[in-house]
């Protein structure tokens, strides 16, 4: 079963929220024949975690109420838009498990109609061409305490404005020399209603329309009219667009629609230590601070996909966060909780030693020579005399038999994790030390350390140990060993690069920092030279595992190979966070 199909089948019952309650009331009142929503990204960057909430809401309510949801690119700024962004938005939506109605739409497809409506506004005396400089327009806009000043061109005749607008369209003005503004109220308390700019000159080729246009509509003009063209019933936006709603309503009213769309605002998704500004995320990419938009530390959908997050986990997270009318900050650990929950029953197990410490079993040959007579019924093993390896068959998942089995090599020399032996252990330490010499090697024998070897700096570099041949897979009567550790064969294990991640930012609200460089976490990425069991290496790139006692990992989608295995940490194995 594909990742996409498995996630679409695992539907979560929707929660009640004010938007869904509005839709229920509209359906009850038979206000619309069909509920129509849209997801309208600007193709000027990759989608990020904040978009996932909007995606889940727009596509979710359409599905819940037997409606449809459009994908529409609000592509009104060709200087910032790329085909790469367009393609990845589609890829992200499919990966998250959503399908839009019909073909993907573009605001640029409506440019002819939007231009005609701009002319209509001029003819109605509700738009004019302003020849002031951008600085003058900004200065004359006023402030929250002071009314704006009207443009010298505000009261020009309809005929003059039609000609000036035609001149703009016919490339007679350079960029910044002329704009078309809506004529509303320069003293309005809402700054967005002080004659907002609705068209500007841009001598820039568009990725969809080529060189047909040298004037382009502003987002606030194109967005509501695109909604109206597509018969959107509920235009769902985040709270930063609340102050833009009066102009949204003004423009659809002035153009005239029998059943205009209506905008509803909900809280945006703010997660601590996470940046959701495409402009600042692009800065990280452009400056090489991260390794592209899909760097696993990035909160982009592409980055989270490469990190190993699951669509089911992201959807569960958004469902837990819910929809509200006021902004707040969500604990990152809730996201990790949802991801972890989605992985537990779907991820095969494996053993990897991230910081290897050599262990030599001094009685290995003697101990395993009689393994057939000593092994427990629960142990399935075979001895290979040529390689002197005891191959142990273990399930890929302790509770999911359908995941099959794999063989793990047990040899005379092993690696355990450096943290599993301490010369001076801290209080409560339950692993190996000079005082506590016995421990269970997972799925095999009880091991007893007889000697540790240190280097010139006093660091332990090797352990000498023995195994009890009577304890393969069982605890004989009277033998109770507290503690189990994982291990990997030193001769059959495979060197691998393992990447551990922390938050990319060390401050709780990186969006509030003017210079992102000062907010970066220097420990956001740690690369380790690990050793993994052979079965992990043969998996395809993009396969998730639980490294026993370590956490959840994924073989890197771009760099992993059998010759050079690379694994990215998804989330830790457990966390103290308890969601409400």
Taking the CB of residue 373, how many other CB atoms lie within 10 A of it? 8
What is the rounded CA–CA span in Å between residue 548 and residue 396? 11
Structural contact between residues 366 and 565, judged by C-beta atoms closer than 8 angstroms: no
| Burial class of residue 59, CB neighbours in 10 A (0-12, 13-18, 19+) | buried
User: Residue 82 catalytic?
Assistant: no
Q: Could you say which of 254, 268, 280, 442 is catalytic? A: 268
Catalytic residue among 72, 181, 245, 278: 278
Q: At what angle do helices 49-64 and 311-321 cross, to 10 degrees?
A: 80
The tokens of 164 are what? 């000036």
d(CA 152, CA 86): 40
Cα distances from 133 to residues 141, 187, 188, 266, in angstroms, run 12, 20, 22, 36
Q: Are 481 and 475 in contact (CB under 8 A)?
A: yes
Q: Establish whether 268 is a catalytic residue.
A: yes
Supply angle C-alpha 369, 397, 497, rounded to 5: 80
Residue 282, CA atoms < 13 Å, CB-side half-sphere: 12
Q: Environment class of residue 29 by beta-carbon count within 10 Å: exposed (0-12), middle (13-18) or buried (19+)?
A: exposed
Task: Find out whether 468 and 440 touch, Cβ atoms under 8 Å.
Answer: no
- What six digits make up the tokens of 116? 């005609």
Buried b (16+ CB within 10 A) or exposed e, 476-511: eeeeeeeeebbbbbbebbbebbbbbbebbbebeebe
Distance from C-alpha of 471 to C-alpha of 443, rounded to nearest angstrom: 10
In DSSP notation, 422-486 reads -SSPPTT--SB-SS--EEEETTS-EEEEEEEEE-TTS-EEEEEEEE-GGGTTS--TT-----EE-
Dist CA 356 CA 349 (whole Å): 19
580/577 Cα distance (integer angstroms): 10
Give the whole-angstrom CA distance, residue 378 versus residue 109. Answer: 66
Instruction: Provide the annotated active-site residues.
Output: 42, 268, 278
């Amino acid at each position: 079963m594909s990742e996409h199909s498995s996630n679409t089948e695992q539907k979560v019952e929707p929660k009640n929220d004010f938007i869904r309650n509005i839709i229920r009331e509209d359906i009850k009142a038979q206000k619309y024949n069909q509920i129509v929503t849209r997801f309208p990204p600007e193709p000027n960057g990759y989608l990020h975690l904040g978009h996932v909430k909007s995606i889940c809401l727009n596509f979710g309510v359409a599905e819940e109420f037997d409606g449809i949801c459009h994908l529409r690119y609000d592509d009104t700024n060709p200087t910032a838009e790329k085909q790469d962004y367009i393609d990845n938005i589609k890829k992200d939506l499919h990966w998250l498990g959503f399908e839009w109605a019909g073909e993907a739409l573009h605001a640029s497809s409506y440019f002819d109609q939007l231009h005609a409506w701009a002319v209509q506004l001029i003819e109605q005396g509700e738009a004019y061409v302003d020849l002031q400089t951008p600085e003058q327009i900004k200065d004359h806009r006023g402030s929250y305490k002071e009314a704006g000043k009207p443009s010298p061109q505000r009261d020009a005749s309809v005929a003059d404005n039609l000609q000036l607008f035609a001149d703009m369209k016919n490339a007679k003005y350079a960029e910044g020399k002329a704009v078309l503004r809506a004529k509303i109220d320069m003293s309005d308390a809402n700054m967005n209603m002080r004659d907002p700019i609705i068209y500007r000159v841009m001598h820039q080729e568009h990725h969809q329309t080529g060189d047909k246009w040298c004037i382009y509509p502003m987002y606030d003009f194109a967005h509501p009219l695109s909604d109206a063209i597509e018969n959107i019933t509920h235009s769902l936006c985040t709270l930063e667009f609340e102050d833009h709603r009066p102009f949204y309503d003004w423009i659809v009213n002035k153009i005239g629609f029998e059943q205009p769309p209506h905008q509803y605002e909900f809280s945006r998704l703010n997660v601590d230590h996470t940046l959701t500004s495409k402009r600042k995320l692009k800065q990280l990419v452009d400056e090489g601070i991260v390794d592209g938009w899909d760097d696993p530390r990035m909160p982009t959908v592409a980055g989270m996909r490469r990190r190993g997050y699951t669509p089911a986990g992201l959807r569960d997270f958004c469902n837990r966060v819910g929809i509200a009318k006021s902004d707040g900050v969500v604990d990152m650990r809730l996201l990790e909780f949802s991801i972890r929950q989605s992985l537990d029953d779907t991820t095969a197990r494996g053993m990897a030693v991230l910081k290897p410490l050599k262990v030599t079993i001094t009685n290995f040959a003697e101990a395993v020579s009689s393994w057939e007579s000593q092994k427990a019924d629960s142990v399935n093993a075979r001895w290979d005399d040529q390689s002197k390896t005891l191959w142990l068959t273990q399930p890929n998942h302790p509770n999911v038999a359908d995941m099959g089995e794999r063989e793990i090599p047990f040899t005379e020399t092993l690696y355990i994790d450096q943290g599993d032996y301490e010369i001076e252990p801290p209080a409560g330490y339950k692993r190996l030390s000079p005082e506590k010499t016995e421990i269970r090697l997972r799925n095999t024998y009880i091991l007893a350390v007889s000697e540790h070897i240190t280097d010139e700096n006093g660091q332990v570099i090797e352990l000498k140990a023995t195994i009890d041949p009577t304890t393969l897979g069982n605890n004989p009567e009277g033998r109770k060993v507290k503690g189990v550790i994982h291990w990997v064969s030193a001769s059959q294990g495979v060197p691998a690069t393992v990447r551990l991640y922390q938050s990319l930012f060390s401050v709780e609200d990186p969006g509030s920092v003017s210079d992102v460089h000062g907010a970066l976490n220097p420990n956001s990425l740690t690369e380790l030279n690990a050793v993994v069991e052979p079965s992990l290496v043969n998996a395809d790139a993009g396969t998730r595992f639980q490294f026993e006692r370590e956490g959840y990992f994924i073989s890197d989608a771009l760099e992993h190979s059998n010759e050079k295995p690379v694994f990215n940490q998804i989330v830790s194995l457990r966390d103290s966070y308890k969601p409400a």
